Chain A
Amino acid sequence: MQGDVFLQLTVSGLSNGMVYALVAVGFVVIFKASDVINFAQGEFLLFGAYLAFAFIAQFGLPWSLGVLATLLSAALIGLLVERLVLRPLIGEPVISMIMVTIGLSSLLRAIVNGIWGARPRAFPNFMPSGEVEFLGAVVGIDRLLVIAIAGILLAVLTLFFRHTRDGIAMRAIADDQQAALSMGISIKRVLAVAWAMAAITAAVAGIILANTVGVSHDIIFIGLRVFPVVILGGLDSVPGAVVGGGVIGLLESYTAGYTTSGLELIVPYIVLIVVLMVRPYGLFGKEIIERV
């Protein structure tokens, strides 16, 4: 029976971890393109969940249309944020841009509060809720589905960075902004794409969370997990975000399952501190190349 518990913990840990990875990927995309640490990533997540709630529960759209509308509005919000908040700061010190994302996080939270209020809302769950036997353990179908959705999305993103014009341009800007400018790469356009992508991945994660844990302001705390995840994986690595998300998710799940009294809440931050001491650029982070 020991094995069943382990497998169940693994599946639920992985599915949580993949949600973390999605949030982390949005964070990584922005960091890659502009060196900006986006403290508003958790609020993007919150906004995504509430938008899905609005479209599906309040306007009564079928879930497929509701999800589509949520993703489109998230992209629009990402573009707006870049255009109105970040673009005026291009060329200013990175620290100003980082501070502005803190302001942005308060603003987004206040908007959500203003529109939907602070009390938790019931979300019309649309993910299949059955359970399946899997190698002798009983696991929820929605858990497996989350892992699959996140896996596909992350694979698409990896391909985007390797093979598309904008993906390569984004990595080029991260390496040497002025040289990128000298080959006609439009920094404004690339930054806009980055923010839209960050908002979309956060919205996907937000929709998943709305289904699995419900719609409330607690979602922001899940957004905070992004820090241990990206520090572990490396601030600028998409595969790092996936591995980091998986590791943190599994660690939480195992500590919750095998120990008592909420130890799982601090484990991610212990990992964060250890990683910062041992390997500050994370598992897959960019090392500084020194040619000798």
Chain B
Amino acid sequence: MARDAPRSLLLGCPLVQAMLSLNNVEVIYNDVILVLKGLSLKVEQGRIAALLGTNGAGKSTTLKAISGLLHPEDGEVTDGGVEFEGEQIDKLPAEDIVRRGIFQVMEGRRVFEHLTPQENLLAGAYTARAGGVDESLDRVYGYFPRLKERGASMAGFLSGGEQQMLAIGRALMAQPKLMLLDEPSLGLAPLLVQEIFEIVERINREQGTTILLVEQNATRALEIADYGYIMEGGRVVLEGTPAELQDNADVKEFYLGLTQVGQRKSYRDVKHYRRRKRWLS
């Protein structure tokens, strides 16, 4: 049944198909450490989904479970399943998953420091058809003209913002259907964060790339997302449209830094017992 769904989409059915779905996924590292405890989420085609949560909630692990990067870290999906376009992908190696159209932009940029920006982009096109590479390069330079200006200098000498642009550009080179973005705002100045988020939104709109965005910066992420999930302790504890999440009192206080009356407040003022509150304790 599920396999017939994309066809109905082609026939003009207004329903949006879930491109990616995780059903009760359990991930164990090194055979003992349970990191994801029955996580479920869906990402619909052409949308931006945000996955929010504090440090250690399991956000990065979720992305790696999708992209197959768990395997080299001794992690394993032990229960549940990851489905992409109606097919089970959690047992596939990372290279096959990239070829199917999922590209993870890893946390911390991870550019190839001793390669030039252009060589970094070419490495991103590893799985792409040889014919379309020049076209892809032009497209990436269209989004990030600054990368072209840096010419032959090694990518390790780029600024943090430029490296993040390069990391996203590298993903674009593979022309993925689904882009997994892990903390693109990490360690960047607010103005740059603004710029990166605007470009992510443009890529979604202009290239039709579906995006799953992991962020600590909840305010910004909810601004561009169509749907949001909040994770804690390896599970999704709350989900909804950005408007619904922004209205939730707990989300306001713990993720957006707002009090009930809606004014911005210092995290220091949050009372100790409130700060320790968790949905699942």
| Chain A residues within CB distance 8 Å of chain B | 91, 165, 168-169, 171-172, 174-176, 178-186, 286, 289, 291
Contact = CB atoms under 8 A, between A and B. Distances in A.
Given A182-B69, A184-B99, A184-B174, A289 B123 contact: no
Contacts of A186: 95
Given A169-B126, A172-B112, A184 B119 contact: no
A289 B113 contact: yes
Interface stretch (B2-10, B18-26, B103-111, B211-219): B103-111
27 contacts: A91-B72, A165-B126, A168-B115, A168-B123, A175-B113, A176-B112, A178-B69, A178-B106, A178-B110, A180-B123, A181-B72, A182-B103, A182-B106, A183-B98, A183-B103, A183-B124, A184-B97, A184-B99, A184-B127, A184-B174, A185-B95, A186-B95, A286-B114, A289-B113, A289-B114, A289-B156, A291-B156
Q: Is the interface of B mostly helix, strand, loop or mixed?
A: helix
B267 interface: no
Contacts of B160: 291
Interface of B: 67, 69, 72, 94-95, 97-99, 103-104, 106, 110-115, 119-120, 122-124, 126-127, 130, 154, 156-157, 160, 170-171, 174
A171 B114 contact: yes
A157 to B, nearest CB: 16
A182 B114 contact: no
Nearest to B173: A183
A198 to B, nearest CB: 20
A164 to B, nearest CB: 10
Contacts of A91: 72
B112 A179 contact: yes
Nearest to B96: A184
Closest 6 CB pairs of A and B: A184-B98, A289-B156, A179-B110, A184-B127, A175-B112, A172-B123
Contacts of A286: 114
A179 B97 CA distance: 14
B278 to A, nearest CB: 31
Given A182-B106, A183-B103, A291 B157 contact: yes
A184 B156 contact: no
